[in-house]
Structure 1
């Protein structure tokens, strides 16, 4: 029920926001040489001349049936347009999350275990620095040194028209590192904070008193019980990556959802803007639901 309510609210907000923006999509499509009559005819064919309330009811009814409308500029269904642009964004978000986890999780665990040490302070300082540097600046630095000067990675793009899957994925490595470094800061800090709370619990001291090895105490007892807040922030991070990879996609010239939305806003392509907002919101809700279900795997007590 909660997912239905959230989806309905997203439909309403998306419909209202795109129509508050200045500009007429019909006039933009026809160009400056179009006559007022041409603009009126196109508005009528697109249904933009109808009352706002009628447009809203039509929009909600079609969206409930899975019809997100037809793009004004691509002359294709919004679903097809989004599907064609989804691959770079999804894989970029997934690879960035994996890279962030590989960096943040072990460092966060060890920093909590060695609280107050030089490594702990260095890790916290580095995390704050990584979170403070804009992703576009990190991406530009990596482009210059790792791609242009050293030639280790492609500087931009998503491969040619005939590029294979592995070639396309190779073009995502550098953007994924850029996004992964930025988002690893939050995961590292949450991992460290959660582990610090658990390592001070009585049952951890009891496990040590029984003669268990430090590795078993940290990984089996402490990390398992600190897993719920870590899983929460990982789920939220992945959802934010999908929704917020716009800047990185623009820097590396990736044909993903971020670039699509930016162009759709400039063109006043209402159906594409609305469809993207809806899909991202539903994905966000689904990721949160999946995160809640993972709680059952991490901690059996959640079932009660």
Structure 2
């Protein structure tokens, strides 16, 4: 298991090296002078030259790359042009809403999808199976912003149970901030549950008729134990894969939902950085999101080894 973990860590380092290189190249291939693009058409020559010096663009490309790599290794992603603060501080200040939104959305999706997928496979062809499959396909086709607006109109505007936007004031308690995440988390959770439901159903159908399941039944085990302990456990590999992919997608896919609900998360920060052409902030956000993708995949790989020891061989 240790050898497998080390191999995967080595793969993570290679992937992140490629990501850092690509992010570095993005700014350098921008048409025109990157400093002029960031400052806009009204910038003076002196402003452009000062920004080039701040970003280290006056040095040669190899020197810039070495300096950029050194900053990344130290956790220094540069200085945000418009926020006038380190990129790491800007991302950290916005991390809480995005983190809890991702966690709650994934929990909601898993709580809905796993039981529905298992029961749908167990009662294959039944009315429940047909209804679950239809609803999963319907949920997968709904745009998150549209569902969010519908929930906002009904639960926030008409019923008044939730606020239409925001994350609470500066002195808001933790419970109040979490209350603002209910609608966006339910929105993302319902949409994300569709994919997990379909994969759970398909994975369970592959194992329910296997020999070891029939053997467990012939030994007189309860149907609940057969389905959960023997069938579901052996079907977890593809289910864990899709849950991991869903978690990674939620990290980056929360941009639209955060914008709709006015959440001050990383997603809305990236949108404003793109509109303002704040390249240091965009670069830092890309690196963080890519790192989270790689980390989630690593965690899923480690769970493979725990769920099915045969994977390590």
Band of TM-score, shorter chain: over 0.9
Distance 1:120 1:21 in 2: 51
Q: Aligned-residue CA RMSD in angstroms?
A: 1.8
Mark the CA change 1:78 to 1:285 in structure 2 (over 3 Å): closer, same or farther. same
2:5 aligns to what? none
Could you tell me the TM-score, scaled by structure 1's length?
0.94
Could you tell me the TM-score, scaled by structure 2's length?
0.91
In structure 1, runs of 5+ residues without a counterpart are: none
| Structural mapping, 1:51-200, within 5 Å | 51-200=60-209
Distance 2:42 2:206 in 1: 66
Q: Is the 8 A contact 1:25 1:267 kept in 2?
A: no
More moved, 15-24 vs 137-146: 15-24
Residue 210 of structure 1 deviates from its aligned partner by: 1.9
Residue 52 of structure 1 deviates from its aligned partner by: 4.1
1:36 aligns to what? 45
Mark the CA change 1:220 to 1:91 in structure 2 (over 3 Å): closer, same or farther. same
| Structural mapping, 1:251-262, within 5 Å | 251-262=260-271
Residue 113 of structure 1 deviates from its aligned partner by: 0.2
Distance 2:164 2:103 in 1: 20
Residue 28 of structure 1 deviates from its aligned partner by: 6.8
| Structural mapping, 1:216-227, within 5 Å | 216-227=225-236
Distance 2:163 2:187 in 1: 13
Distance 2:102 2:32 in 1: 32
Which secondary structure state, in structure 1, belongs to the residue aligned with residue 82 of structure 2?
coil
In structure 2, runs of 5+ residues without a counterpart are: 1-9
Q: Is the 8 A contact 2:108 2:186 kept in 1?
A: yes
Which secondary structure state, in structure 2, belongs to the residue aligned with residue 176 of structure 1?
helix
1:241 to 246, 250, 262: 250
Distance 1:143 1:223 in 2: 36
Q: Is the 8 A contact 1:136 1:247 kept in 2?
A: yes
Q: Is the 8 A contact 1:29 1:73 kept in 2?
A: no
Equivalent pairs counted in the alignment come to 304
User: What does the per-residue CA deviation read over 1:191-220, in whole Å, with 9 as the maximum and x for residues that have no partner?
Assistant: 000100010101111111222211111111
Distance 2:262 2:149 in 1: 12
More moved, 168-177 vs 13-22: 13-22
Distance 1:8 1:296 in 2: 26
More moved, 106-115 vs 201-210: 201-210
Distance 1:24 1:160 in 2: 40
Residue 241 of structure 1 deviates from its aligned partner by: 0.6
Q: Is the 8 A contact 1:28 1:267 kept in 2?
A: no
Runs of 4+ in 1 over 6 A off after TM superposition: none
